[in-house]
Amino acid sequence: MIALLLRDLRLAVRAGGGFGLGLAFFLIVTVLVPLGVGPQTALLARIAPGVLWIGALLACLLSLDRIFALDREDGSLDLLATAPLPMEGIAFVKALAHWITTGLPLVAAAPLLGVLLNLPTPGYLWLLVSLALGTPALSVIGTFGAALTVGLKRGGLLLSLLVLPLYVPTLIFGAEAARRGAEGMDVQTPLLMLAGISAGAVALLPFASAAVLRINLR
Amino acid sequence: MSIWEYANPVKFIRTTDLVLPWIAAAAVICLVGGLCWGFFFTPDDYRQGSTVKIFYIHVPAAMMAINAWAMMLIASLIWIVRRHHVSALAARAAAPVGATFTVIALATGALWGQPMWGTWWAWDPRLTSFLVLFLFYLGYMALWSAIENDDTAADLTSILCLVGSVFAILSRYAVLFWNQGLHQGASLSMDAEENVADVFWYPTLMCIAGFVLLFVALVFLRTQTEIRARRARALLTRERLT
């Protein structure tokens, strides 16, 4: 499992440029929002947590089809399937690699982009915490979607149609926690719900992804 | 005699052929009767005027939109556990019907909301979760139509249906939480069944029965079509081979 994780990480960093792509997309979305809604700092400060969450979510979505597509093309996914590692483990490691290469950089970059959107000072901590708790769920759900569409030629658009409704609860609780944090309100309830969704998704969805992968590879 | 006998497509088609006209006729009678009763023979509400009558369509459509998903969930489970093709095809057949009911519920709700709330759309928890449900239907149907191999498509969509159900329920509660955080939603929601008087209740009941029967008839018909289309394809393939 560790070897597979290291391989995926190396591939993401060295080949294809998938590593920086999500971050660049996140940056561009954050720059485009003030251009679209106008530069009033009060308005930006109010919508900043939500915009950053949506930006992170879309950046996550952008890199999803890379999770399995490349491995499927060069046949290494079939090799992995016949390896002694159980399919559930493969799905989990793939999600973990996606989170490390996409989710973690997004979490780290979010406070910097918060400056651009004039995020209120108390909001930074809770934005970080909510993203750190929520992005694992985004990665695991996305891996499930990627596993569903791995056999399709034009899976990209379908992938977003399948995955975005599944992202709804995560987005609601995550953005709510960040917003409450920014306004200095109590953040415990949404944070707990967000952590619950993440923990549940990480625990259960690899099984669904593995089942779907087995169907797609047969 | 057990229900699994109907997993045999021939038996399923034979039986549904027998009952389909009766169910369809009953659906028409219930719908026409219930809607006429509701539209012409019930008094106007003293505050909402005649707009209240849209509930004879709105409430049953909304109920069936959720029940159709539940039926798809059960059919998907049967397909995963027992591999009966009719079950997978029934789930496939139910999806567009359920999606249409969702659209009907949303559209009639908007028509009613415009004069009553003064807006076509509000981000009320109920409305929002219905919109999310509609998105789930769209994704489900898109996945069905995207995959060429029938068995693979049935497997993948049934797993999507299971996972989607969990997330649909999660979304429902998340949306409730989200809106309470923004403003009170109680002024926007009206629980029809608790507030409604008997005069309105009986025609509503008849319309609900009509919608249930309509759903059953449509699902039977569409499942039959799917089975026959698949048989035609199999015959064509056999022709080409020999």
pLDDT, mean of residues B91-119? 88
Instruction: Find all residues with CB under 8 Å of B157, minimum gap 6, and list them.
Output: B76, B88, B91, B92, B140, B143, B144
- Segments forming the whole domain that contains residue B211: 53-241
Number of neighbours of residue A5 by Cβ within 10 angstroms: 15
Are B174 and A168 a contacting pair at CB < 8 A? yes
A77: tokens are 């996914």
Q: Could you tell me the residue ranges of all domains in chain A?
A: 2-217
User: B94 — contact with chain A (CB < 8 Å)?
Assistant: no
Q: What pLDDT is stored for residue B62 in this prediction? A: 86
Is B186 a member of any domain? Answer: yes
User: Confidence band (pLDDT; 50, 70, 90) for B183?
Assistant: very low
Chain A residue numbers with beta carbons less than 8 Å from the beta carbon of B138 are 161
Per DSSP, B7 falls in state G
The rounded mean pLDDT for chain A is 87
User: Confidence band (pLDDT; 50, 70, 90) for A155?
Assistant: confident
pLDDT tens-digit map of B208-242: 899 999 999 999 999 999 999 989 998 999 999 87
pLDDT tens-digit map of A77-125: 888 888 888 889 889 998 998 998 888 989 988 888 888 888 888 888 8
Residue B49 DSSP SS3: strand
pLDDT tens-digit map of B92-102: 999 999 999 99
Q: Which helix (H) or strand (E) holds B116?
A: helix B85-117
The one-letter amino acid at A19: F
Is B15 a member of any domain? Answer: no
Are B163 and A152 a contacting pair at CB < 8 A? no
pLDDT tens-digit map of B139-175: 999 998 888 888 888 999 999 999 999 988 888 888 8
Q: What pLDDT is stored for residue B163 in this prediction? A: 92
Chain A residue numbers with beta carbons less than 8 Å from the beta carbon of B148 are none
The total domain count for chain B is 1
Mutation target to probe the B interface, by most B beta carbons within 10 A, among A150, A166, A192 is A166
Report pTM: 0.87
User: For chains A and B, what is the number of CB pairs under 8 angstroms?
Assistant: 77
Residue B125's nearest CA partner among B47, B180, B85 is: B180
Gap between the Cα atoms of B73 and A97, Å rounded = 32
B56: tokens are 């004879």
Q: What pLDDT is stored for residue B195 in this prediction? A: 54
Q: Which residues of A lie inside 8 Å of B (Cβ-Cβ)? A: 144, 148-149, 151-152, 155, 158, 161-162, 164-166, 168-169, 172-173, 176, 180, 189-190, 193, 197, 205, 208, 211-212, 215-216, 218
Residue B24's nearest CA partner among B211, B206, B217 is: B217
Distance from CA of A152 to the nearest CA of B (A): 7
ipTM of the complex: 0.85
Instruction: Please say if the pLDDT value at position A12 is more than 80.
Output: no
User: Confidence band (pLDDT; 50, 70, 90) for B182?
Assistant: very low
Between B85-117 and B55-82, two packed helices, what is the crossing angle to 10 degrees? 160
End-to-end, the C-alpha distance of chain B in Å comes to: 39
User: B114 — contact with chain A (CB < 8 Å)?
Assistant: no
Higher pLDDT, B45 or B23: B23
